[in-house]
Structure 1
Amino acid sequence: MVAIPNKMLDMMTDYDTAREWVHKNVSAYNFGGGVNIRYVAVGNEPFLSSLNGTFLNVTLPALQNIQKALDEAGVGDTVKATVPLNADVYQSPKDNPVPSAGRFRPEISGLMTEIVQFLNQSGAPFTVNIYPGLFRKLASNAGTPLRPNQYIEIYLFSLIDEDVKSVDPGYFERHWGVMRYDGQPKYAMDPTGQGRNTALVGARGVEYLPRVWCVLNANAGNMSRLADNVGYACSNADCTSLSLGSTCNGMDPAGNASYAFNAYFQVQDQDEQACGFDGLAVRTRQDPSTGTCNFTIQLETTSAAAGRPTVLLTTALLALVLAAMVTML
């Protein structure tokens, strides 16, 4: 499954743009020995209540254009366009809170009916993100109450953490991966559904940049610009692990500053100039990681020469990080 971000849905309402996207992201990999693409996710939970209807008018046209482009490219029989939806698109009665008793939310009922009809016509699945004890359910081969003998097709979201994903729904959005950013397992899980406490096999042959970190310079005399520099670092790198309840929450202010500085330093592929911060930071070969908080080392990739995308931090998280700096000023 390859995906089109919500922010691109408006672009896909133009058919030429949709056709070009399919050419670059599907057709280019559709060859013997290439990628086995089966679905295109047109957006991700675009009707989530918290998005306040932002994508109501563009999702269906984008879905229709992508499927048309897939058909025109000659892959429409094997690659289907669908829309992964949050379970909040439907509501169940309080006295019978099961999905089969639910109905689409009133304000999107007509639109959802059109989407379901289109999916039925194109032979694409209705896709919904739900959170059961999933592997045990699949292992039982029981299907659903309505269709007890039919195979349930599922996908795991997601394989690895995504440090540039939008955090509008919450800071957790960048941490859905069953693997860390480098393809190493986060926790034990058993895809067979047999209840075994099994560690997944991590990615092999992963190459990292040198074991160098950027941390707060304890000998820096003037800390007056610390908050500004931490803010800059977290506006251009991922500091979500510092948020309340996350793995790096609970460190002292020095630890928070070091995490922010290192996040930026690694995003910049360990560029020496990226560990300055007005003299407040210093490079070190001593791993600053704690028992629960991992100070990452960037992967060795071709992006080192091409530069990396900018990550913008939400105001709320930035305020949280900066608040922790106050005691150092």
Structure 2
Amino acid sequence: MGFMALKTPLCVFFPLVIQILGIESNIGVNYGMQADNLPPPNEVAKFLLDSTIINHIRLFDANPDTLQAFAHTGIAITVTIPNDLIPQFTNFTFAQEWIKTNISSHVHSTNIKRILVGNEVLATTNKLLITNLVPTMQTLYSALVEESLEHKVQISTPHSLGILSSSNPPSTGRFRPGYDDHILRPLLSFLRDIGSPFLVNPYPFFNIGSNDTNLNYALFRSNSGVFDEYTGMNYTNMFDAQLDAIFCAMKKIGYDDVDIVVAETGWPSQGDPDYIGIDPHSAATYNANVVRHVTSGVGTPLMPNRTFETYLFALFNEDLKFGPSYERHFGLFGPELIPVYDIGLLRPNMAFSGPPNSFICCFMIIVIMGWLFG
């Protein structure tokens, strides 16, 4: 029987193979809660654990009830300190008490992986927040050291691509004047010293304009690509171009050895009619292609043979968010925990009591492949 005669789409079995082999995914999801119709965190945690292959979650706060809901799930949690609290954390006593209350008291049962200081702080143009960003990160790290958690919990902060003054073609990527020397150089130096990644929020959706050619480029569809005459590289998707522009900016100031993590990326499934490419099919296309691409090991033209820890935005549609209507429709799931569209994040209804041995792994794969192609 040929490949085209599959009884069931292969994507249905891909999550099962991941579960059988115990392969840890680099894919996470942002769990925002600006909505009045969401299920409680304990239901969300159970759903993610039992029904999906999602094993990384980013929270936009450090709510203790949410952290408790994810206890004993093994799901890796990233918590966030809101922007408006940043200045308070330059006080070591305050930072130490926050770490004890929000991290130390949960970390033995909840898999807290990372603390993010604010979100897109440089984009706020708030001088108080910007000048306190690195000192806050340093103080929090010192508080983690006091609790002997510096090797378990990372510190970082995510950035919009607005930190770049130039990005097209990617090789011209550089940080905005004033940010590179005064903020980003000490920030990257600190991240290098503590072994934490540089986090960015690339959104090709915001750069497509009204051009169908740009839409194909943004969605990883067939297109002629964008040629970078300085490197001789041809880019066939905007996501790679955005990451390489960040990489070039980091390289120009000597920090291209710091890992890059995609803290947010996504595509809305609904919005105002004056935007092109806002529909469930386009959203599914983008997110599925991002997942495939960042986990493939192909990397980008300037960062080949790499995978990227990547967090899709977002877990839910959030009906209380401000701004254009598309801002409320980035969710992968509705409040009833039904997918808005399917990109292969759901697992089959099959439970295993523990990691199987290698013989069972091979046997199950043979059975599955025989059923598919036999």
TM-score with structure 2 setting the length:
0.45
2:268 maps to: none
More strand by share: 2
Paired with 1:172 and 1:57, the residues of 2 have a C-alpha distance of 32
- Per-residue CA deviation, residues 99-143 of structure 1 (Å, 9 max, x unaligned), is x53111113122111101100001000000113341131243212
- Per-residue CA deviation, residues 235-283 of structure 1 (Å, 9 max, x unaligned), is xxxxxxxxxxxxxxxxxxxxxxxxxxxxxxxxxxxxxxxxxxxxxxxxx
Quick one: which of 318, 332, 341 aligns to 1:187?
341
Between the two structures, name the one with larger relative contact order (CA 8 Å, sep ≥ 6). 2
2:111 maps to: 36
Quick one: which of 66, 90, 109 aligns to 1:13?
90
Q: Which runs of 5+ in 1 are unaligned?
A: 192-199, 202-329
Contact 2:191 2:197 (C-alpha < 8 Å) held by counterparts? yes
2:305 maps to: 149
- Per-residue CA deviation, residues 277-298 of structure 1 (Å, 9 max, x unaligned), is xxxxxxxxxxxxxxxxxxxxxx
Map 1:38-117; keep pairs closer than 5 Å: 38-48=113-123, 51=125, 53=127, 55-92=129-166, 96-98=168-170, 100-110=171-181, 111-117=183-189
Query: Which SS does the other structure have where 2:129 is aligned?
Result: coil
Query: Which SS does the other structure have where 1:47 is aligned?
Result: helix
Paired with 2:316 and 2:93, the residues of 1 have a C-alpha distance of 32
Query: Which SS does the other structure have where 1:39 is aligned?
Result: strand
Residue 35 of structure 1 and its aligned partner are, at CA, apart by 1.6
- For residues 170 and 61 of structure 1, do their structure 2 counterparts lie closer, same or farther at Cα, with a shift above 3 Å needed? farther
The structure with the largest alpha-carbon Rg is 1
Residue 18 of structure 1 and its aligned partner are, at CA, apart by 1.3
Q: Percent identity at matched positions?
A: 35
Map 1:120-269; keep pairs closer than 5 Å: 120-131=192-203, 132=239, 133=286, 134-161=290-317, 167=322, 176-181=330-335, 183-191=337-345, 200=346
Quick one: which of 187, 190, 203 aligns to 1:118?
190
- For residues 53 and 12 of structure 1, do their structure 2 counterparts lie closer, same or farther at Cα, with a shift above 3 Å needed? same
Paired with 1:179 and 1:10, the residues of 2 have a C-alpha distance of 35
Letter in 1 for 2:146: E
Contact 1:4 1:43 (C-alpha < 8 Å) held by counterparts? yes
- Per-residue CA deviation, residues 137-191 of structure 1 (Å, 9 max, x unaligned), is 12432123333123312223332355677x4x76765654423345443333235
- For residues 156 and 57 of structure 1, do their structure 2 counterparts lie closer, same or farther at Cα, with a shift above 3 Å needed? same
More helix by share: 2
The CA RMSD over aligned residues, in Å, is 2.7
Question: After TM superposition, what 4+ stretches of structure 1 lie above 6 angstroms from structure 2?
Answer: none
- For residues 175 and 87 of structure 1, do their structure 2 counterparts lie closer, same or farther at Cα, with a shift above 3 Å needed? same
Contact 1:9 1:59 (C-alpha < 8 Å) held by counterparts? yes
Contact 1:135 1:190 (C-alpha < 8 Å) held by counterparts? no
Contact 1:42 1:63 (C-alpha < 8 Å) held by counterparts? yes
Contact 1:39 1:79 (C-alpha < 8 Å) held by counterparts? yes
Q: Which runs of 5+ in 2 are unaligned?
A: 1-77, 204-238, 240-285, 348-374
2:99 maps to: 22
